[in-house]
Amino acid sequence: MPVSVQWSWADASAVSRANPFSESSVKDARSTVAELQKFAAKNINRSVLLHIVDTQTSRPIEVQRESVGEAILVLENRARVENCEAVLSGVKRELTDLWRGLVDVQTYARENEDPDTKSLLSVDSDKGTAVTEMMQFEAVKLKASASAMAEELQKALAEVPAEDMVADGPVIKGLLAEAAKTVEVAQQVIDANAKAHSAFRSESSGSFSFLVKKITG
């Protein structure tokens, strides 16, 4: 849920609010946090009105907080969710690449089997073993990343104030479901790749048909 943010002092006079320059420039959540932290460092603790727009849906919301510190907490939580969403998107792309890699492994085995014995040469088996070891390392790492994002999103959901739950709750819950699904897919990649790795290492895995059976179950 990437957002753009403008803010102004909620306790400003009507004349001040009428000034078109009374609002900050448009920034993302993290940049706005950095800007507000400068006021917090000077012990300026006025109420803040946040004008937040979801950049994907263009849905605007206004959030008022009684202090700069409270406004910062709102934006930090949103920045946390944005980061989780970005990381999950990257994990899903890399998992897709690994699935394609498993298809390439099968293609490699088919193209390099001995036409007479229907078995792989030892050098090809060694190469397949090395490739699947590398893929397994990546798959495990991606699963860990997705799991970590699920934990972060759970924390973010727990820290959403009651008054913001209607607006933010469904979005975070949707991302939580997405994170859980990503963890599930990562485990499927791990399991399929483990079968491929075992097939390349097995002395009886010379037959390509055996290799495919091991990979696909």
The residue extents of the domains of the chain are: 4-216
Question: If you average pLDDT over residues 111-128, what whole number do you get?
Answer: 60
The tokens describing 103, both together, are 């298809």
- The pLDDT assigned to 177 comes to 95
- The pLDDT assigned to 57 comes to 77
Residue 50, beta-bridge partner list: 7, 63
- The pLDDT assigned to 213 comes to 45
Question: If you average pLDDT over residues 70-76, what whole number do you get?
Answer: 92
Rounded CA gap, 96 and 103, in Å? 11
pLDDT at 20 over 80: no
Q: Say which amino acid occupies 199.
A: A
Rounded CA gap, 197 and 7, in Å? 55
- The pLDDT assigned to 212 comes to 43
pLDDT at 216 over 80: no
Is 0.85 topped by the overall pTM? no
**Residue pair 25/78 in contact by the 8 Å Cβ criterion:** no
Question: Comparing 209 with 176, which gets the higher pLDDT?
Answer: 176
HSE of 60, CA atoms in CB hemisphere, 13 A: 7
pLDDT at 183 over 90: yes
Give the pLDDT confidence of 134-148 residue by residue, as tens digits. Answer: 888 999 999 999 999
Short-list 184, 190, 180, CA closest to 101: 190
Q: How far is CA 162 from CA 38, 59, 92, 106, in A?
A: 27, 19, 31, 52
Question: If you average pLDDT over residues 162-167, what whole number do you get?
Answer: 78
Give the pLDDT confidence of 89-114 residue by residue, as tens digits. Answer: 999 999 999 988 888 877 776 666 65
- In the chain, pLDDT over 90 holds for what percent of residues? 40
- The pLDDT assigned to 204 comes to 42
- The pLDDT assigned to 198 comes to 78
